[in-house]
Structure 1
């Protein structure tokens, strides 16, 4: 009886250590903004680790093989989604607009199985109690909500005080991602592709050089290139 307890103790500690190693291997994204495939991986790995700790009928070798397969599958998929936007959209989904111009989009609430009570709670956690303050509210792929307030309800910055700007902000428009034009966004917002390419040409760059480009709420174009010319990037360990 004592031997059995010792075996379970050793297996439990081993399962914990294995999960810790796997989590470190898969990266920080698994801990913070968990998406669909990472959630599935976490559930499966947790179940395997639990069996590894307590189910003596299952051979340890089989459990280790399962852990290795799911770990490397998740790792490979995480690398693929970085390179391929279509795969990323399929596995992770896309943000959903819940509120636009202070108006609730009921159909989008239904599609995401959200009630008004849940939406109100999420908004209160953002210190928002009045729908009239909201320009856009999005449900992110990690299940959290992001809110862009109307211009008159946004916090005043030093730039606002200097310029006294009262322009109505627009929702940021993503134009380029991973070196590819987002033609759907361009078409909906009546932005010709030539406008983007001309902006890049003026900077001596090509579309393939662009990692991400977005037209901000202030109408300014923000471009991030693959090579940022940062010789010593900071990485906080």
Structure 2
């Protein structure tokens, strides 16, 4: 039946929630805050996977609590290994993480990169407005970060440019 299948399934969902959710919280606390940061696309994928996995454990009666525990531990362990490798190996980190790049810098738009990343000037204008700025004259740079977010660097904030270090220009052959 679609609306009600008996108390057994409702009881199972409630018990699985009471077991699985606290287990995931403890597991993530044990492995540290880095486990759920969204520094790159891999981190985003693992975060979404946690949600999908938790939902499957709770709602799929073919997945036991023990199966769910193993699945969550394995996902967390793999995430831990990948982040540990990316911290300890620049080569591995470069492979896993996308390099931030300028979409706008020093009064110029990087049209080639904007086209590649499917961004329009209007998208950048919107982000500039969200920062409370009314003109690109107040913007030193707009950076497409490795996690896909946009960072706006205001001209007033640019006494030293050390935060822009490591941003790839990727500008017409640069």
Bin for the TM-score computed over the shorter chain: 0.7 to 0.9
Of 57, 74, 78, 1:73 maps to 78
Report how far residue 174 of structure 1 moved.
4.1
Task: Find the residue that maps to 2:82 and give its secondary structure.
Answer: helix
**Structure 2, unpaired ranges of 5+:** 1-5, 170-174
Of 54, 60, 71, 1:49 maps to 54
For 1:122 and 1:87, locate their aligned partners in 2 and report how far apart those are by CA, in whole Å: 32
1:89 equivalent in alignment to 2:94:
yes
Q: Which has the higher contact order (CA 8 A, sep 6+)?
A: 2
8 Å Cα contact 1:97/1:136 also seen in 2 = yes
8 Å Cα contact 1:15/1:50 also seen in 2 = no
Report how far residue 25 of structure 1 moved.
3.0
For 1:36 and 1:22, locate their aligned partners in 2 and report how far apart those are by CA, in whole Å: 22
1:109 equivalent in alignment to 2:114:
yes
For 2:123 and 2:31, locate their aligned partners in 1 and report how far apart those are by CA, in whole Å: 32
Q: What TM-score does the superposition give when structure 1 sets the normalisation length?
A: 0.59
Please give the root-mean-square deviation of Cα atoms over the aligned residues, in Å: 2.7
For 2:165 and 2:56, locate their aligned partners in 1 and report how far apart those are by CA, in whole Å: 45
Q: What TM-score does the superposition give when structure 2 sets the normalisation length?
A: 0.78
Of 129, 132, 144, 2:137 maps to 132
Please identify which structure carries the higher strand content. 1
For 1:22 and 1:101, locate their aligned partners in 2 and report how far apart those are by CA, in whole Å: 45
Task: Find the residue that maps to 1:77 and give its secondary structure.
Answer: helix
For 2:12 and 2:153, locate their aligned partners in 1 and report how far apart those are by CA, in whole Å: 55
Answer with 1 or 2: which has the greater Rg.
1
Residue of structure 2 in register with 1:178 after alignment: none
How big is each residue's C-alpha offset from its partner over 1:196-229, in whole Å with a ceiling of 9 and x where there is no partner? xxxxxxxxxxxxxxxxxxxxxxxxxxxxxxxxxx
Please identify which structure carries the higher helix content. 2
Task: Find the residue that maps to 2:134 and give its secondary structure.
Answer: coil
How many aligned residue pairs are there? Answer: 162
Residue of structure 1 in register with 2:69 after alignment: 64
Matches within 5 A, 1:26-45: 26-45=31-50
8 Å Cα contact 1:95/1:139 also seen in 2 = yes
Report how far residue 9 of structure 1 moved.
0.3
Of 149, 154, 177, 2:154 maps to 149
Residue of structure 1 in register with 2:127 after alignment: 122
**Structure 1, unpaired ranges of 5+:** 156-167, 176-183, 186-237
For 1:141 and 1:26, locate their aligned partners in 2 and report how far apart those are by CA, in whole Å: 23
Task: Find the residue that maps to 1:137 and give its secondary structure.
Answer: strand
